Amino acid sequence: MAGLYILCIEDEADMAGRIGDVVRDAGHRFAWESSAADGLRRAGETAFDVVVLDRMLDGEDGLQILSRLRESGVDTPVLMLSALGRSTDRTEGLEAGADDYLAKPFEGGELLARINALHRRASGRTHSAVILFGAFECHVKARTAFRENKHLALSPGEFDLFRYLMENAGEVVTREMLLRDVWGMNFDPQTNVVDVKIARLRRKLEDGFGSPALETIWGSGYRLMDGR
């Protein structure tokens, strides 16, 4: 993988230094901002490949920072770091728009693997440019989605989920598969991340259309229908 450009928004200098060492050792470029204001400004000015965002940033809630980042039109993949590692904390982070969530403390190797995975998913370099299934279209490189030629306004995280379903169209995908392949998480029977994300995506795929888009296979998972 060619060198990436990583922005770290983290108020703890020691933690930022450790992340920077991991990123640079892998041949990537690294930029660091210690405040929310500077981080938001930098993310809006420069085309970074991945943003690493601390959830508890010098008295500010990282979830609100993330919302402001998305509202400003920045769709760079975001890996949220936090000392809050419960299932509900991870759900909140992903629901707020984070593309991945990693609890502190963490191993440098896992951090790097998640950064690389986020970039691969965002770039779509290993997939076809357009995936077609029934009434649905997934334009991988442009990261846009359509049903019956109507644009679907999906967040970056929702698009990643939609693309995975399109890549497995007509097949049952389990909750374990979604957690592992879309969000890089180990299966946790207590988490409701999948339910929350599927419910939000289902609304966007079905609102205004006359037929369902997702079939729930009770006890197994979900299946994307052709939407016709």
Superfamily of structural domain 5-123? Response regulator (3.40.50.2300)
Q: 17 pLDDT exceeds 50?
A: yes
Cα–Cα distance measured from residue 219 to residue 185, given in angstroms and rounded to the nearest whole number: 20
pLDDT mean over 173-198: 79
Spatial CB neighbours of 220, under 8 Å, sequence gap ≥ 6 = 172, 174
What is the pLDDT, as a whole number, of residue 146?
Answer: 92
What is the pLDDT, as a whole number, of residue 220?
Answer: 82
The CATH number that domain 130-224 falls under is 1.10.10.10
Q: What are phi and psi of 223, to 5 degrees?
A: -140, 130
pTM score of the predicted model: 0.58
Annotated domain spans of the chain = 5-123, 130-224
What is the pLDDT, as a whole number, of residue 149?
Answer: 86
Listed in sequence order, the DSSP H helices in 26-167 are 36-45, 62-71, 87-95, 108-123, 156-167
